[in-house]
A and B are shown apart, each in its own frame.
Chain A
Amino acid sequence: MRLKLIACEVLYREMCSAVARAAEIVDMEFLPKGLHDLGGKAMTAKLQECVDRVPAGGYDAIVLGYGLCGNGLHGIEARHTVIVAPRMHDCIGLLMGSRQRYEAYFQEHSGSYYRSTGWLERGVDLLQLAPYHSGTSTNLAELIAKYGDDNGRYLYEELTRFQSAYRTLTFIETGLECDGRFEEQARREATGKGWEFEKVAGDLRLLHRLVNGDWAGDDFLVVRPGQRIEAQFDGNIVRAVEIAAPNQS
């Protein structure tokens, strides 16, 4: 089987590791983490462009290294090749290995901010796509330069105030880290923001299954040509519907 993996760069190390050990041939393409900041519709459009560039007949399936990601997968159409996506809210769940584990952790740890290698090394210094859409990717100096001192400081306060509601920084350790630098960086960030630090063990089995064609059971959504992905706000997260069906969003 030959697979085409389209994944978020936030999973770069984990996906590379999974693909290196995969029994299948997997071609990889990573898209910028900044897609996440564009909002669901724009992210869907960018992902669809990428899906549409995959040549018909070239692959047995296109596998997506994404969760629903704020509806970024909602509306993606399989035109000529099967698309497979994990049933997951976002990359944090993918790194935790199951949506049940993620949802249970989320419920028990309200106010957690998550970090992984990708979130640490690909978060701020790469070109992101929409720094001013949400404003949340900007820093104080940039805001002052663009909006003046008073307004810049006000915006910084408004755009970062949500952080004061967080209590914990949860670092997901996958075992792929080269050394302790990522954990140290995460600990420094937690200390700097006055948050507790917590480390949980990652579980990459879903990523391995995704690139090994092991999609049986209810962890993955298989979208046949002629169908599209639709968000489903129950335990299944996403479903496949016929493209001809009216888009109700």
Chain B
Amino acid sequence: MTELKKLYEAILSGDNKTALAVTQQAVSEGVQPMELITNYMIPAMSEVGRRFECEEYYVPELLLAARAMKGSLEVLRPLLAASGAQPLARVVIGTVKGDLHDIGKNLVSSMLEGGGFEVIDLGTDVTPQRFIEAVHAHKASIVALSALLTVTMPMMKNTIDALKQASLRDRVKVMVGGAPVTREFANSIGADGYSETATSAVALARQLAAAVAS
């Protein structure tokens, strides 16, 4: 029997090869995907988040942990789909128009995938219209907007306003983030949630998904 604790440790240390090997071995031995996700992968990412908050980890360590986790998830995803497991929610994510920064957005995207969400990543420089089209096409219930520049932050408001005009605002929750974004700004533009870090974005998305479902 493979030692599943190694999956936790491999994600924590960003060792994608070990994470993948342990996952494949566990699956071949009949371990349930949800057990791996719930008992090892999510706790590993939570610990990564904790270390990031107290500055033991920085962005590179987050990226490596996310890479290791995603490698394992790719093995598990077909099994989850076959078992009829549904994502917590579908999230359309992107960096707003005019802004080409993607590192933070990619981290949030990985964390959300690891947290059980289906993520539709539209990339950077995303127009309000593309967000609207993706919400329709994927029946998403959460829209996540990223911006790194104060000069592009107003585009977050424009995107939310466009969702209103497209009569989608009541159907989706909007979460915003990015280095210069603040809670006050998020409130002022009518966002439903703000997260300061990629790791806390998962908890926020869970709250928003629950609010949509209720």
**Which residues of A does B touch, CB under 8 Å?**
39-40, 68, 70-71, 74, 89-90, 102-103, 106-107, 110-111, 132-136, 138, 143, 146-147, 150-151, 154-155, 158-159, 161-162, 165-166, 231, 233-234, 237, 248-249
Complex contact B154–A233 (CB within 8 A):
yes
**11 A-B contacts (beta carbon < 8 Å):** A40-B180, A70-B179, A89-B151, A132-B58, A132-B60, A135-B63, A136-B103, A146-B60, A147-B64, A165-B125, A231-B150
Compute how far the CA of A155 lies from the CA of B17 in the bound complex, rounded to whole angstroms.
15
Complex contact B179–A40 (CB within 8 A):
yes
- CB of B149 closer than 8 Å to a CB of A: yes
- The answer to whether residues A106 and B151 also contact, given A132-B60, A147-B60, A162-B124 and a CB cut-off of 8 A, is yes
Chain A nearest CB: distance from B61 CB in Å?
Answer: 9
Q: Which residues of B contact A70 (CB under 8 A)?
A: 148-150, 179-180
| Residue of chain A at shortest CB distance from B66 | A158
Compute how far the CA of A234 lies from the CA of B124 in the bound complex, rounded to whole angstroms.
22
Q: Which residues of A contact B185 (CB under 8 A)?
A: 231, 233, 249
Q: Which residues of A contact B103 (CB under 8 A)?
A: 134-136, 158-159, 162
The 8 A CB mask of B101-115 against A (1 = contact, 0 = none) is 111001000000000
Q: Which residues of B contact A249 (CB under 8 A)?
A: 182-185
| Residue of chain B at shortest CB distance from A166 | B100
Chain A nearest CB: distance from B21 CB in Å?
Answer: 14
In the complex, how many residue pairs between chain A and chain B have their CB atoms under 8 Å apart? 102
Q: Which residues of B contact A150 (CB under 8 A)?
A: 16-17
- The answer to whether residues A233 and B58 also contact, given A151-B64, A154-B64, A249-B183 and a CB cut-off of 8 A, is no
Complex contact A89–B150 (CB within 8 A):
yes
- CB of B73 closer than 8 Å to a CB of A: no
Complex contact A147–B14 (CB within 8 A):
yes
- CB of B98 closer than 8 Å to a CB of A: yes
Q: Which residues of A contact B214 (CB under 8 A)?
A: none
From 118 to 174 in chain B, residues with beta carbon under 8 angstroms from any chain A beta carbon are 124-125, 148-151, 153-154, 157
- The answer to whether residues A151 and B14 also contact, given A134-B59, A135-B58, A158-B106 and a CB cut-off of 8 A, is yes
- The answer to whether residues A155 and B180 also contact, given A231-B150, A233-B153 and a CB cut-off of 8 A, is no
Compute how far the CA of A154 lies from the CA of B157 in the bound complex, rounded to whole angstroms.
34
From 62 to 107 in chain B, residues with beta carbon under 8 angstroms from any chain A beta carbon are 63-64, 67, 97-98, 100-103, 106
- CB of B28 closer than 8 Å to a CB of A: no
Q: Which residues of B contact A231 (CB under 8 A)?
A: 150, 180, 182, 185
Partner of B184, one of A110, A111, A161, A248: A248
Partner of B125, one of A110, A132, A136, A248: A110
Q: A133-B58, A161-B102 are in contact. List 12 more A-B contacts (CB 8 A).
A: A40-B180, A70-B150, A71-B150, A90-B150, A90-B151, A134-B103, A138-B60, A151-B16, A155-B60, A159-B59, A165-B102, A165-B125
Chain B nearest CB: distance from A69 CB in Å?
Answer: 8
| Residue of chain B at shortest CB distance from A163 | B100
Complex contact B67–A154 (CB within 8 A):
yes
Partner of A162, one of B17, B101, B180, B184: B101
Compute how far the CA of A138 lies from the CA of B149 in the bound complex, rounded to whole angstroms.
21
| Residue of chain A at shortest CB distance from B104 | A134
From 40 to 64 in chain B, residues with beta carbon under 8 angstroms from any chain A beta carbon are 58-60, 63-64
| Residue of chain A at shortest CB distance from B187 | A248
Compute how far the CA of A147 lies from the CA of B16 in the bound complex, rounded to whole angstroms.
12
The 8 A CB mask of B173-194 against A (1 = contact, 0 = none) is 0000001101111001100000
Closest 4 CB pairs of A and B: A249-B182, A248-B184, A165-B100, A71-B180
